[in-house]
Structure 1
């Protein structure tokens, strides 16, 4: 996001206006990088560079701000989290983990401000090119990382995709946690565009979508004995313009990340379908629920081909149910009111 502000404009107010518009496609909770000053181009570079720092908001708040920039970081951090957007946009206390700000001298009559969000799962390496030769980055030691062993929640609802019916889909309510089992199709931007072109031309599709569930993903190629490489969801909003078309093919439900727009939500409700949200920013862990994979259409598209996955206890949350109830709209409102009423983010 970028805005050429007037010198008297409030950066905090602008950030609070922009954050809800950004949706959940950036996989909150994460970091905000903000660049202030210079030119339009310089402010964007500053915002990106600021994200290279370590997360230290807890330490900053513990000792207190020592300058105006640090005070601004804390103010934005507190007020953004008070919005209640939460992890994955599903509502909660943590929308951002830190705010980083770099500034630069600028013309007295302008105030260029740029903001870049960064997923908390983003990794970055730092090195310096000093002219002495190539840089060799040491591979990370896996034993230094925690061993993540996920087990299904006993309260989650197991779903058999191979026998799924519209009646079952209509029993799901927004916020329900499901464990998908069975065969699931995939498809993202390129596949949806080609499907549209083929339908417009009256050509038969390579796959029958009637009674199926589609996962918005472009899986990475497998390595070694892997069935599939990292296979995290892509942002579903980009498929909104194809939603009604796909539902007309008999699709029962869709799986992706982030929110759906108004038109897509309306189409889902009219078709008595559902949109399910997988966890963004955890592609490797998501892939562990995929036990089989084969290309069933558009092989020339590579990772954007249509695959058929065999999944086991694939975890999702019902984000839009068959009545059109949208958790990305409802949950943040509930949490915003709860945070304000109970003072959940107020220091003890």
Structure 2
């Protein structure tokens, strides 16, 4: 029999958030704001396979592509069911700054970072036939005349485009960006010298570097890469502040209960310690991350700030 006192307490008890051990109560959804078949989709599905047996519920990947990721990211931001996650990337910290009108969410306010899954290093490359041998030579060639050097990128506002603009800002050069629709599309023009330079992902350029068709000038990261041990970082080549990381990560909508956030962050970190999963991630040309939540929580707003500053200072807008 429920006493009068217990009856008054019952609504409050029901309103208490579920413990981490009680979650999830139903299938978990991971929204990928890009089309199926790409790297983000593949990585999200790997995580779903790992998470499902540990959570005791199906984990479903839902592709919500469109508007440079705005549609899917907006859908995730609006989710208040406590069972939705977002597989995000560095582009979510860039795209809002490119728009003429505000996007329907606040990236920093509306998401809780869970952890990094991996990163895609960027490398500055020139055709093997180019007379440019190093970063100093690139700077000299770029300063030889107005827009003396052209750089291919994978699309206006993409990370490869912003890397070129960041190089210009750091070196006082005026390299002209030429936008293509993807790295695969631009590669013939880069290989034959129609364009002189590209800031491109390691997975795309490494086969061409090893085949002697492209020359690597520098790595846009904090350390040299195992696949290119002889290639210096830009910092080593006396160009400071040129770090470009195509990271991928897992985030939760702000409305997600704290206990659920803690469980997913711990589960992600546990999964990312599995050598088998890390090997599968590396197969996508992505460097597996440690999923350190605190590190990503610090990185996330800083990335939003620094890319926003660059976009505004260089006057970059979405096509």
Structure 1 or 2: more helix by fraction: 2
TM bracket (short chain)? under 0.3
- State the structure with bigger RCO (CA 8 A, min sep 6), 1 or 2: 2
Structure 1 or 2: more strand by fraction: 1
